[in-house]
Each structure stands twice: as structure tokens, then as C-alpha cells.
Amino acid sequence: MTGIFGLQNVNEIHLFKPKYRRGECLLEIGECLDRGWTGLGYKTIEFEDKWKDYSGYKNAHFLNSSTSGLFLTLELFRDKYGWGRHCQVITTPLTFVSTNHAILNAGLTPVFADVDETLNLSPASVEQLINESTVAVMFVGIGGNPDNYREISHLCKRYGLRMILDAAHMAGTKTDNSHYGTTCDAAIYSFQAVKNLPISDSGMVCFLEEDDDHIARKRSWLGIDKDTFSRTSSDRRYKFRYNVEYISNKYHGNALAACLGIVGLRYLDEDNNRRRQLRGLYTTLLSGNENIHIVQHCTRTPHSSKTSAHLFQIVLLRCSRDNLIEEMNDRGIFPGVHYISNLQYSAYKGFQNSCPRANEYSNSLMSLPLHLFLTDDDVRYVARSILEIIANNLA
Ligand SMILES: *Cc1c(COP(=O)(O)O)cnc(C)c1O
């Protein structure tokens, strides 16, 4: 039974549960309240700077969601490069709908390539679809997995395409020397409540070009050309005669949300280490079963690559994913599915579906509980339950 107002019952094992360092968060938030500054600027700038130090991105702009960031990026590139409605962005159907809604909302045409066993876009499938109308590739590192990233970025270079990274799952996916995404034209992170660096609702857009970052800062606040904090702090007279350069919308993040990010970032590597341990334990417990295929991460990347381990996903072979989920629910375990192919939604029914693997995974993928409150025993219980249910059903 789900608890009151959808809160989680302590005996249940849920897919996600964000962890916040309450004391440290409240200290940061207290500073905002004392100062009377909870909006754009101040802690938002501090968080952007800390994120740049951590990740190696040259530019980073804090937003109210990654959905905003995806749209802002596509709209900005559309105007910058003069892309019209016929211009095609190659993308994946196996993602959260934000990715593809953004392409459509910006008035561009999504073209769906298929994924491979990494669950990320297949480089071969992408290359087949490139034509004279192609302008960009949207890459999603599912579950934090950087597999195929390098191959796709080589393709983008070779064909002169923009590469946009939906890095919603990838906070902390890096090699010894660099964070994944720093070579993309734009990378967009989500700090939504269940992501690896959970805030509540927030995102970050990281542009390769400084000019794009400047424009995004204006466009994320109705086209106004300066944030209020720098206007009031650098010049004590309120400069109300700012210019408005764009007809845009309001997408920027706020200082209270940034506080949670500043604290969460201190622990991101430590938290991701624990996530990788949990992935390792699941892998040990479930490997060798012929009905389960484990989606590995970092199988085609440089040796020092580390996944953020946002998800642990399995593919069910020869048995029904939906039945398994129901029986797991009966045992108090609540897995998830990332994702159902977007092409199966009615809003996407007009688009060409030549993505057989994405279709197949829509019915057979499952994400197991993965968060920082799980004990090793919880993971053993989940794995044992899966193996028992499958064995009973096939008997
Ligand atoms: C969560 C998610 C988003 C949207 O993030 P928001 O910050 O909630 O807007 C976009 N793409 C993917 C792949 C996601 O998982």
C-alpha cells in the first residue's frame, strides 16, 4: 500500500528516493532568507561556478528544469543557424518525452533512429538517416551510460552536425580527466527530484560557445539582458532601463533551489560511487540467468570511464515484464520502466517508426530500485524475488 499523499512506506522498496543533507541544505537556505534573496542570482551564480569547477564545462546556466534547457537550446540554435521547419534532428524514441517534445516545440522535425543493446542511439542507425536536411543529433545517455557517445560525436564532426546531449541521467558520468559532454555544442542536465543530483525541479544548460551562454541567459528571463542581482549589487541605483532583446519566456532557476544543488554537488561523486556498488551487486546476483539480460555500462568507452549509475536496467527474455512487475509489487518492490518508445504515444503517431529494437525494449525493459537508502540486503531481496518469480512462472 502506498502511504498517505503518495509518501513511501518504510517497508517498501521504491525505484528512487532522493537523499538530502538536511542540516547543510538548511544552512545554505538560511543564508538566502537572511539576505532576502531567493530569486535569480546570488546562489544561482555560486552553483553555476561550482558546477563548472566540478565538471570542466566552460559555460553553465542554471534553469528551472532540463525540459526548459532542451527547448531553449533548440530554439537558440534554430535562430542562430537559421534552421527551418524542414530541418531534421536525429533523435532516440527510447527517452523521456521532454527530449522529443523540445524538438517539436522548437518547430523542427525529429527523425527517429534506433537504439542498440546499450539502449543508446546506434551509430549505424544514425548514420543511415543523415541527409542534406539533417542539422543535429540529440544523444541521450540512458541511465548514465556513455556508450556510443564518442562514436556519435565523431559522426557529428564528420557530417558537420550540431551535437546536443540530453544529459539528464549523466551528472557525474566522466573519465579520470574529463566529464562527458564537454565537447558537445550543448549539454543539458536535469536536477529533478529523482535524478543523481536531486534538487526539486531544476536543470543546467552547458554551451560550448560562450556567446550561446550569453544569449541563453537573456532568453531564460524573458529576453531581458541582465539579472536583477548584478543590476542591484553593482550599481546601487536600480537600473530599470534595461533592454529587452528577445520575446522569450521564463526558464531560469532560483537561489533556494541552487542551495540544494550546492550541497548535493559536494557529495555527488561519493553518492555515485555507492550507486555503482549497488549496480555491481545486482550484476553479481543476477548474472548467469538465461532469462535476464543485464544492460552493462561503459562497455565501449575508455578504460577510466565511470557511469553515474542513474539506473540499473535489465531486459526480460522469455517472460512477461508486466507480470513480473505486478508480482514484485505484491512483494513490496516497485521497479520502473525507462522507457516506452515515444513512437507508441498517440502524440507521435505520425512519425516513421523504423526502430524495431526500441519497440522490443518498450515491452521487455525494467529498471530496478536504485538509490542511496538501499542496503545490500535490500538488493539481495530484490534480486532473489526476481529469480524466484521467474522460476515459478516458467515452472
Ligand atoms: C528527467 C528527464 C528529462 C526532464 O528533466 P526535467 O528536469 O524534469 O525537465 C529530460 N530527459 C530525460 C532523459 C530525463 O530523464
* Closest alpha carbon to 190 in 162, 165, 156, 219: 165
Cα 68 to ligand 1 centroid, rounded to whole Å: 10
State the chain's mean pLDDT as an integer.
95
Evaluated on CA atoms 126, 147, 363, 350, the torsion sign reads: negative
Cα 359 to ligand 1 centroid, rounded to whole Å: 21
Q: Where are the alpha helices (DSSP H) in 36-148?
A: 43-55, 66-81, 97-105, 123-129
Pull the grid cell for residue 181. 559532454
Lowest mean pLDDT among 10-19, 83-92, 368-377: 10-19
pLDDT above 60 (res 390): yes
Atom of ligand 1 nearest to the CA of 169: 15
Domains 3-10+269-394 and 22-266 share a fold: no
| Residue 334: Cβ-neighbour burial (10 angstroms; 0-12, 13-18, 19+) | middle
Q: How confident is the model at residue 339 (pLDDT cuts 50, 70, 90)?
A: very high
Q: Enumerate the domain spans of the chain.
A: 3-10+269-394, 22-266
Ligand 1 pocket: which of 62, 64, 66, 341 to mutate (most atoms within 8 A of CB) = 66
Provide the pLDDT for residue 227. Answer: 55
Q: How confident is the model at residue 237 (pLDDT cuts 50, 70, 90)?
A: low
Give the Cα separation of 81 and 161 in Å (integer): 11
pLDDT above 80 (res 239): no
Q: Regarding the domain with residue range 3-10+269-394, which homologous superfamily does it belong to in the CATH classification?
A: Aspartate Aminotransferase, domain 1 (3.90.1150.10)
% of the chain with per-residue pLDDT over 90: 91
What does the CA dihedral 210, 215, 220, 221 come to, rounded to 10 degrees?
120
314-325 pLDDT, tens digit per residue, is: 999 999 999 999
- Ligand 1 atom 2: the closest Cα is on which residue? 168
Residues 74 and 107: beta-carbon distance below 8 Å:
no
Provide the pLDDT for residue 394. Answer: 85
Provide the pLDDT for residue 4. Answer: 52
168-221 pLDDT, tens digit per residue, is: 999 999 999 899 999 999 999 999 999 999 999 999 999 999 999 999 999 999
Ligand 1 pocket: which of 166, 188, 340 to mutate (most atoms within 8 A of CB) = 166
Which helix (DSSP H) or strand (DSSP E) does residue 42 occupy? none
Cα 168 to ligand 1 centroid, rounded to whole Å: 5
Provide the pLDDT for residue 230. Answer: 60
Which helix (DSSP H) or strand (DSSP E) does residue 88 occupy? strand 88-91
Look at the domain 22-266 and name its fold.
Aspartate Aminotransferase; domain 2 (3.40.640)
Cα 99 to ligand 1 centroid, rounded to whole Å: 8
Provide the pLDDT for residue 2. Answer: 45
Residues with CB under 6 A from ligand 1: 65-67, 95-96, 98-99, 140, 166, 168-169, 190, 192, 203
Provide the pLDDT for residue 1. Answer: 41
108-148 pLDDT, tens digit per residue, is: 999 999 999 999 999 999 999 999 999 999 999 999 999 99
- Ligand 1 atom 8: the closest Cα is on which residue? 192
Give the Cα separation of 140 and 149 in Å (integer): 9
